[in-house]
A and B are shown apart, each in its own frame.
Chain A
Amino acid sequence: MIEPKLKIATCSLAGCFGCHMSLLDLDERLFELAERVELDRSPLTDIKELGDCDLGLIEGGVCNAENVHVLMEFRARCKILVAIGACALSGGVPAMRNQYDLKDCLEESYLRGIGLVNPQIPNDPEIPLLLNQVHPLHEVVKIDYFLPGCPPSADAIWTFVNQLLSGQPLALPYTQIHYD
């Protein structure tokens, strides 16, 4: 009998997709992974609706209303939710705006920027509203595991996912989680 495949979903919130690139750096190991898991909603599948999943991997922090919605949905649908990379863990580069008022950020971009034509702060309902500040994931939902790195290396992701899927205790070798 063939074991049912585990379902994994991934997404990037306020991130740069660098963590997803690192995931793709698994290279030929992706074939091995594909034998054991099935991708649900993910930038790699272009599935829009999230189904019930065993594991959710999220890169990027939370910067706007849509990020909140997506993160809440992942939390509700995924048995295990993992924050991947510096932005998900601490806000990262997008959170550098936290030291400025949101008004200043928007005015700098849309009213005072160089070469602007018809400067105005965009207000189309299609565009998600920004939160006052960028937050790490664990300030919005409960996160089960944190995988640090900018991005975490493919080896670190491979070790982590393998151990998690096979039910082993999580233990990453030092070489995979040091950044100096």
Chain B
Amino acid sequence: MAEPDALSGMIREIIQRHSGMPTRLLQILRDVQDHLTWLSPEALERVAEELDISPVKVHSVAEFYSFLYTAPRGSYDILFSDNITDRMLGNRELLHYLCDRLGIGIGETRADGLVTVGTTSCTGMCDQGPAALVNGYALTRLDTARLDRIVELVNGQILLAQWPREFFEVVSNIRRADILLGRHFADGSALRAVLKRGPEAILEELVKSGLRGQGGAGFRSATKWISCRSAPGEVKYVVCNADEGEPGTFKDRVLMQDFADLVFEGMTLCGQVIGARQGFVYLRGEYRYLLDSLQATLQRRREAGLLGEAILDDPTFSFDIDIHLGAGAYVCGEESALIESLEGKHGVPRIRPPFPTTHGYLNKPTVVNNVETFASAAKIAVEGGAWFASRGTAESKGTKLLSLSGDCERPGIYEYPFGVTVQRVLEDCGAPDAQGIQMAGPAGHMISARQFNRRICFEDLATGGSFMVFNHQRDILDGIRNFTQFFVHESCGFCTPCRVGTSLMRDLVTKVHTGHGTRYDLEEMRKLGRIMRVACHCGLGQTAPNPVLDSLDQFPESWERRLRSTAFEPAFDLDAALEQARQLTGRSDPGAYLREEELMLGTMP
């Protein structure tokens, strides 16, 4: 622990590096934690003093984000990605193996304070799992040999920088490229196009292109840009949503890793079109390993005259980009929660309207688009709207990047024109034995083989890109239970239907999954799901029951074969719930047990 004076000095220096801006609070806390491994009460107090904001505000941020710790952690903080695709690859066995080797339980810090091992939501390495994070940096392709080595490295207190590079290798796995990934793009060409033809002409191309939000919601990008451009106000912002938290999605990671110039170009283009001078990339914390190379790319673009003051020597064209790192909160993928987080607050979705195009970052007009959307927009500016619209379907123009994972021979990134059938994708990725697909992540839809002829487009199956394959050896309910647990963890806690509903849903699913459910419980799930869909504050809660409701329709046999024949079963093992009291009192008389036949009384109303 740092001495009080050293602590003050360190914090003051970090805050100065962030220009003393309270909007940088999340970034400041991340940096402080990097020094201390956790955020001590004294550290939080000092941050509040230095920024001159209330300690409560600092605490609310520190306690909201999964990757910020208000209790001591090990110097090596290892978090296993716990998505269903990691589980398919055996992550639970590896997790137990590592914990045994290190002599700790899951979620515990070793007594010597050296290491903590826990789990986290999907880290976006589904095509190269089982994955984990160590001190925020992505580890891929874990196996027992790697874990053995990691145990040695941890016990030998070897600095992370000296760990084998291959442990951190992240490959792109681009399996199919179309117009976005397949064609060369000359840096600066979209910016030259907007300078030559003017913002109106670019907007016309964008309208013609029919481009829709590639995060999955499908709002027309031209409408968003036009609305923001015409919104009153001198100061406007561009925000790139790279908070790719939907389990099973990793296409934005690949874009940021291999096509960062294209994305930054799209953002800069947007800045010129709407009249903004500042852009932000909100990069999910799990992709921290990309930060240095992205900063370097930004710097290279500044030096090349593609970013900063007087872009392409035009004094009226100035735009710069700042990168904000998230800290493990799925809800921040929702655009208004993302903006709250950018402003240095905890990420709770705002009430909409007003929408960000008029009241976004710092209540100024803001365009928030997905990574893929900005990349497409840059291409459209160069190649034209008609070129883009020649691909796809009537309502879904262009192409879509899909992130394939789970039970397929060739997981990775596939770019298809909109309208491709699920069947075609399965053939290409090598998944002849598919039982079902979780489309668009847990918040999307689960479909069975009966629906493999459906098409991927906004008219039919809309998706942000997640495509997880379950073969016939898999138990669909393993996936469903994993997803319900995910939503419990990621609910921001702001509204009751979501905070409580996600937990109730998880408990009901667990009850049936472990063989204690009845038909009554399935009906309860449907009722609860209906309430959540209409009563939750934001999309997270409204979509959280989707996997359960879909699978009840699509895979009824997976549920029914586990049901008890009785009309009702208690939610917990009644007799086992007396065990602790039996031990504490030392009783073994008949009254100390609940006998099976007595309990049957209540199961048959």
Contacts and interface: CB of A to CB of B under 8 A. Distances in A.
Given A73-B601, A122-B585, A129-B592, A140 B578 contact: no
Interface stretch (A10-18, A24-32, A63-71): A63-71
Residue from A81, A101, A133, A142 with most neighbouring chain B CB atoms (10 Å): A142
23 contacts: A65-B591, A68-B594, A69-B594, A72-B598, A75-B602, A76-B604, A102-B584, A106-B581, A106-B584, A121-B584, A125-B587, A128-B591, A129-B578, A129-B582, A129-B587, A131-B578, A132-B577, A132-B578, A141-B570, A142-B520, A142-B567, A142-B568, A142-B602
A122 B585 CA distance: 7
A136 to B, nearest CB: 9
A141 B602 contact: yes
Contacts, number: 81
Interface residues of B, number: 28
Contacts of B603: 141
B574 A103 contact: no
Interface string A111-126: 0000000000111010
Interface string B563-605: 0000110111010011111101111010110100011011111
A75 B603 CA distance: 8
B579 to A, nearest CB: 8
A72 B581 contact: no
Given A135-B571, A139-B572, A129 B581 contact: yes
A76 B581 contact: no
Given A65-B578, A139-B570, A142-B568, A75 B605 contact: yes
Contact of B594 (A65, A76, A133): A65
Interface string A50-79: 000000000000000100110111011000
A122 B581 CA distance: 10
B605 A131 contact: no
B592 A125 contact: yes
B584 A103 contact: yes
Contacts of B579: 132
Given A73-B601, A81-B605, A141-B602, A103 B580 contact: yes
Interface of chain A: mostly helix, strand, loop or mixed:
mixed
B71 to A, nearest CB: 17
A130 interface: yes
Rank and list the top 9 A-B pairs by shortest CB-CB distance, nearest first.
Answer: A123-B585, A139-B571, A72-B602, A141-B602, A142-B568, A72-B601, A129-B581, A75-B602, A131-B577
B605 A142 contact: yes
Nearest to A120: B585
B570 A76 contact: no
Nearest to A125: B589
Contacts of A68: 574, 594, 599
Contacts of A123: 585-587
Given A132-B580, A133-B577, A76 B601 contact: yes
Contacts of B572: 135, 139
A132 B570 CA distance: 15
Interface in B52-84: none
Nearest to A103: B584
